[in-house]
Amino acid sequence: MIEYLKTARKTPSSDQEDTRIVVGEILHEIEANGEEKVRYYAETLDGWTGAIVMTPDTIEKATAQLSQQAKDDIQFAHERIRRFAEAQLASLSEFETELSPGLVAGQRLVPVQTAGCYIPGGRYAHIASALMSVTTAKVAGVKNVIVCSPTRGSDGIHTSILYAASLAGADTILALGGVQGVAALAFGLFTGHPADILVGPGNRFVAEAKQILYGRVGIDLFAGPTEIAIIADEKADPDLVASDLAGQAEHGPDSPAWLITTSRELAEAVIARIPDCISRLQEPNRSAAESAWQDYGEVVLVDSREAAVAQSDRYAPEHLEVHAQALDWWLENLSNYGSLFLGEETTVTYGDKASGPNHILPTKGAARYTGGLSVAKFIKTVTWQRMTREANRDVGAVSARISRAEGMEGHALSGDDRLKKYFPEETFNLSGH
């Protein structure tokens, strides 16, 4: 049994403006005209006429403006993000194995050469995003990590973002935002190092630019508005549930917030508390959260925890909190989510800022088939093989026969020629099936 006590007016795919033409034109102009066009858009769109490449002196001056508490907090978050990324790296492995006598194959883990990290800095200064993307790339072994972040009028990049990106190991920081920032990363402008992969969140223009460039460069994922889902039972604290839903809704007016619960009493209590939680926010966050809850908020009453799992997996939320008993059961049975937060003691806020696992996560149902940003995103898993001449006896003949069965005579002849060279006195059955 599933009952919707509050139904969303819209879905995460609603109200998507067609930005592809605009973004495509900007990318084309920048590719054709290079750095000159980037500077034009930086001035026209962001009012920035200063230096594009941040010098060590600029970063040092920015660091001097930060309080010791601010630096300590950024270092605290960086340490946990780095340690989690290092554990991810340790979980990956290279290997080699003998598949049959004389046929040895294996895999290598090779980091990409250049990563472009986009750090949002418009309405919010995404300090944590700088740490999440740059730290993870550096732990993966990426040689060139290039950051771009929007300027704030004549003030340039937010000082905390500069410090965080530098602390995390960024090799170059560009004072650029929007499509022009993504283009500079992808085309290697101002650095001479075109990105092999583009990572990091951003607005719809940034997301569209990454999507257009996908294939030419790799990307972390197709990002949409931030999402939260909470599974709660009758023992959950409605104040904390409401607080967490409202807290994520402040991301923007199109951020879905979903509650799945086995308790009608809990559901009604949360619905009643949401307005007060939102009222604690200052503008423009308050209006954003109000719109998000009104248009995208959803409350679903289910009759079992199995039904809760099924509903959650249909949402495939970016962030999933579980405020319920028997947490190990939920960990074992839930499948589709970007990142999972077990128990009321943790919250999406901790994951977003400082606890360690990466906060750059799949949205709009993409958690059905992918996870978030990780060390593995910056590493190519490549394979290799070698064979003895004797191993050609079986593999060569089988490959030639399969090739002919497929109608690919050229492939078959590659096997034939080796068998003829290595075993000139033998006769093989090389006809197709």
Catalogue the active-site residues.
318-319
DSSP calls for 311-372: HHHHH--SEEEEESS-HHHHHHH----SEEEESTT--HHHHHHTSSS------TTGGGT---
The partner residues of 379 in beta bridges, in order of sequence, read 111
C-alpha span between 252 and 153 (Å, rounded): 22
Count of other CB atoms within 10 angstroms of residue 66 = 17
Order of strands across the sheet that contains 379-387: 95-100, 103-111, 379-387
C-alpha span between 131 and 202 (Å, rounded): 15
C-alpha span between 52 and 151 (Å, rounded): 10
Count of other CB atoms within 10 angstroms of residue 229 = 25
C-alpha span between 392 and 252 (Å, rounded): 61
Element (H, E) at 106: strand 103-111
Q: Which residues contact 293 (CB under 8 A, 6 or more apart)?
A: 245, 246, 249, 257, 274, 278
Give me the half-sphere count of Cα atoms (radius 13 Å) on the Cβ side of residue 362: 18
Q: 160, 390 in Cβ contact below 8 A? A: no
Name the nearest CA neighbour of 271 among 287, 281, 258: 258
Q: Which residues contact 37 (CB under 8 A, 6 or more apart)?
A: 29, 30, 180
Name the nearest CA neighbour of 161 among 148, 146, 143: 148
